[in-house]
């Protein structure tokens, strides 16, 4: 039920961190993977090819419609279909709400929310033609319970969860499943500055029942599940993977 052999996946923000881990995990489950990023994703492509799967890397800014359309066209020329889309690309900038910069708000919402919509819209058109598809949006526990000094990030991730539900409602009739994953704090380049803080690590140990941050590979199982036949009757769901953080008060 978890076999992805013969499937073609697109993963955004796949040069490192969660996107890289998910890309490799989908390949291990049998999928061919198109990896996209504004950064160089060649390392991810090579690791996927070493697994015997096909892969190409495409440079793309998810907030630019022309980039997204070009990516989809190139993917279809190479693979003829897209079965799985993982909307992972995202950024984070901390600031108190009263001093947050308008340009930071615009940039975060453009990448974290608009980017997921644009990619879902363009890939969704192909999935509607195919009458099948799996879309996985990477949201955050910050979309369910607010982090301080993260007003734009929190708003963007809450938006991702409602975007997910809306697309699930609209596209279920086309046999397209749309779900979200809400990670807690994982050890990635985005969080490395926080993880250097002893105070932050003490907070994690005190508030997360598993007393640690997640490792990128620990998100792969959730992604493979939502990409596979095992989740064929699951749609509009936001799956929390956070070591139990938001389960408590």
Residue 158 to residue 138: CA distance in whole angstroms: 11
What's the token pair of residue 247? Answer: 């389960």
For the question of residue 153 being annotated catalytic, the response is: yes
Which of 92, 153, 225, 233 is the catalytic position? 153
Q: Which residues contact 3 (CB under 8 A, 6 or more apart)?
A: 29, 30, 228, 229
> Nearest CA to 120 among 167, 78, 158?
167
Question: Positive or negative CA dihedral for 192, 193, 198, 203?
Answer: negative
Three-state secondary-structure class, residue 179: strand
What's the token pair of residue 72? Answer: 């989809």
Would you put residue 149 in left (φ > 0), alpha (ψ -120 to 50) or beta? left
Active site residues: 153
């Amino acid at each position: 039920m978890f076999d992805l052999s013969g499937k073609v996946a697109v993963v955004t923000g796949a040069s490192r961190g969660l996107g890289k881990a998910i890309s490799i995990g989908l390949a291990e489950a049998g999928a061919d993977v198109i990896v996209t990023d504004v950064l160089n994703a060649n390392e991810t492509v090579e690791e996927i090819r070493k697994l015997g799967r096909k892969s190409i890397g495409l440079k793309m800014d998810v907030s630019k419609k022309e980039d997204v359309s070009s990516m989809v066209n190139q993917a279809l020329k190479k693979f003829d279909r897209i079965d799985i889309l993982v909307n992972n690309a995202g950024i984070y900038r901390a600031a108190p709400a009263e001093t947050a910069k308008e340009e930071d708000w615009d940039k975060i919402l453009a990448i974290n929310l608009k980017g997921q919509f644009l990619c879902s819209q363009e890939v969704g058109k192909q999935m509607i033609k195919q009458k099948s598809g799996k879309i996985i949006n990477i949201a955050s526990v910050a979309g369910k319970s607010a982090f301080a000094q993260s007003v734009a990030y929190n708003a963007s991730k809450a938006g991702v969860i409602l975007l997910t539900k809306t697309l699930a409602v609209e596209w279920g009739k086309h046999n397209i499943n749309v779900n979200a994953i809400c990670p807690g704090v994982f050890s990635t380049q985005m969080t490395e500055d926080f993880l250097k803080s002893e105070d932050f690590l003490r907070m994690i140990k005190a508030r997360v029942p598993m007393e640690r941050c997640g490792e990128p590979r620990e998100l792969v199982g959730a992604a493979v599940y939502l990409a596979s036949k095992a989740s064929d009757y699951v749609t509009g769901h936001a799956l929390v993977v956070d070591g139990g953080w938001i389960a408590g008060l």
